[in-house]
Amino acid sequence: MSWFESFVLGLVQGLTEFLPISSSAHLRLTAAFAGWHDPGAAFTAITQIGTEAAVLIYFRKDIARILSAWFRSLTDRSMRGDHDAQMGWLVIVGS
């Protein structure tokens, strides 16, 4: 796989990860339409890890704030009405 193919497929992965349809299928379809070889499971997994890392880095301050409020709400009842603490509980329940 060339650098250009990797770049294009990485771009497709990043743009389609948050759509409610398979980003893995987008990678396979892009490769098929361009006449390239199937990128394979390892490439797909690495691009998905890269997307996840980018999201975690981008939202790191929000995640830290929510985690901090959630942990404080475990011992301090007055924190249970805090928006960030409630968000922490909702993430846990929703997961």
State pLDDT tens for residues 60-87: 999 999 999 999 999 998 887 899 999 9
Q: How far apart are CA 79 and CA 69, in angstroms?
A: 7
Output the six-digit token pair for 67: 């985690």
Q: For residue 63, which of 92, 41, 36, 84 has the smallest C-alpha distance?
A: 84
| Residue 74: φ, ψ to 5° | -70, -30
State pLDDT tens for residues 22-46: 888 889 999 999 999 888 889 989 9
Residue type (1 letter), 95? S
Q: How far apart are CA 90 and CA 94, in angstroms?
A: 6
The whole model's pTM is what?
0.74
